[in-house]
Every structure is written in structure tokens, then in C-alpha cells.
Structure 1
Amino acid sequence: MSVLLIGGDKINKITQLLKSLGVDNTIHWDSRRNSTSHKKIPKDTDLVIMLTDFLKHNSMSYFKKYAKKNDIPYICTRRGTASIESEFTKFLNAKS
């Protein structure tokens, strides 16, 4: 499974958590530059995780619309590992 993580800076714990939950590939965009808000989500992305603590509202809206248009599931959550694990588990259960 390939996950695009948008937002945040220090994501080592998050990537370790995702790996333990079965994610093979994690791509990270920190969203500090305005140019991030106009990137295209890679086609092989299975899930987009947006960290709401570190993402501008307009950027989040852009990525949500892009994901919906291209049938890519997404999660909007806070940066805490407990929040991410909870939302990711809900995603996996809904997918099954």
C-alpha cells in the first residue's frame, strides 16, 4: 500500500506506525511551500493522509477535490499517532 502524507515536519513516528499497519511506501509533502498546494497526487497512491494541524485550509480543499475527482480515498486527521491509527484503522475496516 502506498500512502501520501501531506503536512507536518517530523514524521518518523508516523511512518513507523504506518509501516507497522502494512504501508509499504510513504511519500511525504511538508506543505511549507505554496507550490505544494498545486502538486498532483501520484497515480499509484492508495490513500492520502492530510495532517490538519499543519495544512492550510485552501490546500486541504484542493487535495480533497483532487482526490475525489480521481477516486483516491483520503483521511483528514491531527498529527498524533493515536488519531492517525484510529482513522487508518477505520479506513481499513471500511475497505474490507
Structure 2
Amino acid sequence: MAYVVIGADRLGNINALLEEKLDGELIHVSGRKKKDQAYSLPQMVKGVIVFTDYINHNLAKRVKADAKKRNVPIVFAKRSVSHLECSLEQMMACQKEGCDRSCAYKRSLH
């Protein structure tokens, strides 16, 4: 299973944090290329991370709706290590506890 990272042309040092925290393949989509605008989530996705300061609004909306429909955890974060780390901890806690849509974490995102 894989995690999808959407936004930012390059991940830089964020890539190391993602590999350390997440237990799966990383799929990075910049979200700025013309072909990325039609992107849809793969079938076997474990979670979605969206960098809000580097993404087209329509793509963010579509990915959010797709993740919600499939009950896949999604986090929206700024492209900074500290902000992302906090968001990832929330996502991992939600996955471990088997949260439903009523938990505070998901309610704030959906």
C-alpha cells in the first residue's frame, strides 16, 4: 500500500521525514503540471498528504472528495517539516485507533 503526496515541485528534506514516519511506498504528484490536474487516487492508497501552498484548488477539492468517498485519511499541511510532522502524528493516531468520521481529526478535514 502507498501514501500519496500531492503538491510541491520538490520535497527536499521532507522526503526523509515521510520515509521515517510512513510505512509504505510514497507516490509524489506535484499538482502543477497539466497532466496532474486529472489525477485520481490509486486503488490501494493508505493515506493522502496535500501541501496546501503548492496545489491547484480544483485538484485539492477532487482529491479530498475521492479520499472521503473511499474513507482514506487525508491531511492538509504547509510545506514545512514541523507542520507536516504534527499532521502526520494526527493521521497515524487516527489510523491506529480505527477512527470513524466523527473523530475531531477527520471532522476538521472533511
Size of the aligned set, in residue pairs, is: 96
Unaligned runs of 5+ in 2: 97-110
What is the deviation of 1:69? 1.3
What fraction of aligned residue pairs are identical, expressed as a percent? 25
Q: CA RMSD in A?
A: 1.4
Cα displacement (A) at 1:34? 3.0
- For 1:45, the equivalent position in structure 2 comes to 45
Unaligned runs of 5+ in 1: none
- The Cα shift of 1:12 comes to 3.0
Q: Distance in 1 between matches of 2:48 and 2:22?
A: 15
Pick 1 or 2: higher relative contact order, CA cutoff 8 A, min separation 6: 1
- CA shift, 1:95, in A, is 1.9
**Is the CA contact 2:31–2:55 (under 8 Å) kept in the aligned structure 1?**
yes
Q: TM-score, structure 2 length as denominator?
A: 0.79
Question: In the TM superposition, what whole-angstrom CA distance separates every residue of 1:20-42 from its partner, at most 9, and x where no partner exists?
Answer: 11333110001112331222201
Higher mean C-alpha deviation, range 72-81 or range 31-40 = 31-40
Q: 1:22 to 1:61 in 2, by over 3 A?
A: closer
